[in-house]
Amino acid sequence: MAQLIQLTNYFVLITHDDAVCPPPHQFFIFSPANFTTSPPSRASTSASAFRSSSLPYRHCIALLAANDTSSRGPSPTHQLNPAIPPRHLDNPGFSESILTAFGHLKGNPPNTAPAAASLVSDQDYSLRPNRDILNTRPPPFAAILLHAVYPCLFRALTTPKRNNPNNPLSSTVLEDMSPSATETITTTPTHLDSYFENSKCAYIELNGANIPKQLIEDALKTRVEDIDHDSCEAGDEDAFFVADLGEVYRQHMRWKLNLPRVRPFYAVKCNPDPQVIRLLGELGTGFDCASKAEIEQVLKMDIEPERIIYAQPCKTNSYVRYAASQGVKQMTFDNADELYKMKKLYPDAELFLRISTDDSSSLCRLSLKFGATLDTTDELLALAKELQLNVVGVSFHVGSGASDPLAFLKAVQDARMVFDQAAAHGFSLHTLDVGGGFCSETFEEMAAALSAALDEYIPGHIRIIGEPGRYYVASAFTLACHVIARRTISDPPSTEQSHMLYLNDGLYGNFSSIMFDHQNPIAQVLRSGRQFCFDTIASRESRGGTEYSIWGPTCDGIDRITESIRFDHTLDIGDWLYFENMGAYTKCSATRFNGFSDAHDVIYVASEPGAKALLGMK
């Protein structure tokens, strides 16, 4: 049995035939140019015709090569349906751009979009017909590009089984679904019945917009309904997370679209969740680590040491020795003593000079603790040259949660000055690390400012990396908390009663971001009595409802989550609240104060088929 999903002039074949590539899932991407007839008729075509040119992927994803179009450039038959413009790319030759990005065209067709190429991989995968491409690992974005950029154009068909003794893929037949000139594909919800799509979500809208909430709600509801508060064991009713890895996936594609020149190195400190690291590893990101434990965790995920930067200007000696033993060469410094340390412990390290920046607009300022001021950078470079150390780049960080786009402009200008200083000392710097500070809410604005600054001040041959953390994970995690106690307060001047709600999580747990990260989590009602309210008007704060203050479980008086909030519910012991956007600096900084657990379960869902395919999720 096979399924054919159409993407305008591109198709995806999904099959369970092991002869194509290993289970559990397989799918191929191909265009009409793959057919022996052009344009193909609606006659069925055997999948075996494509097997010889297919490109297996260890995650059961394969891309089929297109015919050479370099001599004629983008042709109308390969252009996307003009009635459905791209959401992110304007290039009419986007079809060719996809194929060019994967290195499957013999030449370089004109007018292909650089942004499309940057979506695909941070490495050059040049595959030629005379190479054994069956044994070549393709770039990690083979499955990702199509669903992320044109998810609304997918539709699925099931082809009938046909027995063919001469065809090793006897159960797999391709039916030509090439669109006619008058055919229009709309963005209304379309049935997606593929083997890697969640069976409970039969419909998707643009970018899967209705899937994430439904998946999260199902996970929350299932977990809460399984708890019997009258008989459960200790720990059964603890707070827990639901993590949508599809959101991490979407954020990655958003990054690649807006910052195509900057390779992300995920800041592990923000949320060292193993499934997040695993997914980002499969997506091809690097990793920003700040300690031996973080380096060790990433390496255990089979991430190459070259994809790690030890971005800690002031390092523990034993940690440096560990990094050296593991081949983690990239690391930062900002002072002379650190240079002497590196000379003694790791003279072969690839060093980045961390410079101070103006981070006055950020939520969490870092310049007071790290970064060499511009009046000291020249002498530090001179010392590094004298010690025969290998300085390869410059790094900066505009502060966590930065909000001023001009901060990036000034930082890039300063970095360019240090590049020039380094050249004067005989260094050939090849990398700029632009740090983190990216927020989802302001990302496009900040990315535009950073891109413009890079284009103006940093030559194209310079490698650019960044250290996003909260950007990737903040919106991916939802936290559910249980009301363990309630206290009623009467205000003598009025007849109104208010309540103090005590949850099984607080500032010493997953809400430490209130104190340390300037966050303001908003409580919403998950269940009141027997009523589930997730993502409805009933779940949200109201103006005229009952007033509540929300507190954590510890004995410390500062353990308050919300000073005042009103709901149209009379909340009581046993009810549940939930908090969205709880993925950044939450569980990673939870403590065991008062003996409460710092280990909270995470339920994983994936609202993007690409994420599910990469992780092998059912």
Q: Single out the residue of 245, 250, 285 nearest to residue 268, CA to CA.
A: 285
Return the SS3 of 455: helix
Q: Round to whole Å and give the CA distance between 165 and 4.
A: 22
Strand partners, 355: 372
More confident residue, 384 or 89: 384
**Residue 111's CB: how many other CB atoms inside 10 A?**
11
pLDDT for 194 equals 26
Q: What is the pLDDT of residues 497-524, one digit of tens each?
A: 899 999 999 999 999 988 887 889 999 9
**H helices of 359-439, where?**
377-386, 405-424
Inter-residue contact 586 to 540 (CB < 8 Å) = no
Q: Round to whole Å and give the CA distance between 331 and 335.
A: 13
pLDDT for 428 equals 96
pLDDT for 210 equals 57
Long-range contacts for 217-223 (Cβ within 8 Å, ≥24 apart)?
Answer: 217/532, 217/534, 217/535, 218/605, 219/603, 219/605, 220/478, 220/480, 220/526, 220/534, 220/578, 221/532, 221/534, 223/480, 223/603
Q: Single out the residue of 582, 504, 500, 477 nearest to residue 232, CA to CA.
A: 504
CA distance readout (Å), 311 to 94, 162, 342, 368, 407? 37, 57, 14, 16, 20
**H helices of 161-225, where?**
211-225
Average pLDDT over residues 386-399: 95
Per-chain mean pLDDT for the chain: 71
Q: What is the pLDDT of residues 468-480, one digit of tens each?
A: 999 999 999 999 9
Average pLDDT over residues 131-157: 30
Inter-residue contact 473 to 269 (CB < 8 Å) = no
Query: Given its phi and psi angles, is residue 207 left (phi above 0), alpha (psi -120 to 50 degrees) or beta?
Result: left
Q: Round to whole Å and give the CA distance between 131 and 214.
A: 45
Q: Round to whole Å and give the CA distance between 267 and 458.
A: 23
pLDDT for 493 equals 66
Q: Single out the residue of 111, 138, 140, 142 nearest to residue 127, CA to CA.
A: 138
pLDDT for 370 equals 82
Asked if the model's pLDDT at residue 228 lies above 60, the reply is yes
Inter-residue contact 88 to 70 (CB < 8 Å) = no
Write the DSSP assignment of 82-101 as a string of letters.
Answer: TTS--SS---TTHHHHHHHH
* Domain residue extents for the chain: 1-209, 210-258+473-618, 272-468
Average pLDDT over residues 179-189: 27
Asked if the model's pLDDT at residue 178 lies above 50, the reply is no
More confident residue, 251 or 28: 251
More confident residue, 363 or 198: 363
pLDDT for 595 equals 79
More confident residue, 414 or 180: 414
Q: What is the pLDDT of residues 252-263, one digit of tens each?
A: 999 999 999 999
Candidate from 55-59, 228-232, 350-354, 436-440 with smallest mean pLDDT: 55-59
Write the DSSP assignment of 398-410 as a string of letters.
Answer: --BT---HHHHHH
- 415's tokens: 């970095």
Q: How confident is the model at residue 366 (pLDDT cuts 50, 70, 90)?
A: low
Give the phi and the psi of residue 610 in degrees, each rounded to 5: -60, -40
Q: How confident is the model at residue 402 (pLDDT cuts 50, 70, 90)?
A: low
CATH number, domain 210-258+473-618: 2.40.37.10
pLDDT for 611 equals 92
| H-helix or E-strand spanning residue 332 | strand 330-333
Which range, 143-147, 424-428, 555-559, is most confident? 424-428
- One-letter amino acid of 255: W
More confident residue, 218 or 77: 218
Return the SS3 of 612: helix
**Cis peptide bond N-terminal to 24, omega within 30:** yes
Query: Given its phi and psi angles, is residue 327 left (phi above 0), alpha (psi -120 to 50 degrees) or beta?
Result: left
Residue 163 DSSP class: -
Asked if the model's pLDDT at residue 177 lies above 60, the reply is no
Q: Is 555 a catalytic residue?
A: yes
Which range, 72-76, 201-205, 402-406, is most confident? 402-406
pLDDT for 271 equals 97
**Residue 494's CB: how many other CB atoms inside 10 A?**
8
More confident residue, 506 or 431: 431
Q: What is the pLDDT of residues 62-110, one digit of tens each?
A: 222 222 223 233 333 333 233 333 333 333 333 333 333 333 322 333 3
pLDDT for 14 equals 37
Q: What is the pLDDT of residues 552-594, one digit of tens each?
A: 999 988 899 999 999 998 999 999 999 999 999 998 988 888 8
pLDDT for 364 equals 54
The matching CATH number, chosen from 2.60.40.420, 3.20.20.10, 3.10.580.10, 2.40.50.180, for 272-468 is: 3.20.20.10
Percent of the chain having pLDDT more than 90? 51
Candidate from 157-171, 425-439, 567-581 with smallest mean pLDDT: 157-171
pLDDT for 137 equals 34
CA distance readout (Å), 53 to 30, 67, 104? 10, 11, 10
210-258+473-618 and 272-468, same CATH topology? no
How many residues appear in the chain?
618
- 168's tokens: 């090793």
Going 17 to 20 to 21 to 27, the CA torsion angle's sign is negative
Asked if the model's pLDDT at residue 311 lies above 90, the reply is yes
Candidate from 257-266, 300-309, 358-367 with smallest mean pLDDT: 358-367
| H-helix or E-strand spanning residue 514 | helix 513-516
From 21, 364, 555, 588, active-site residue: 555
Could you identify the residue written with the tokens 């500062």? 558
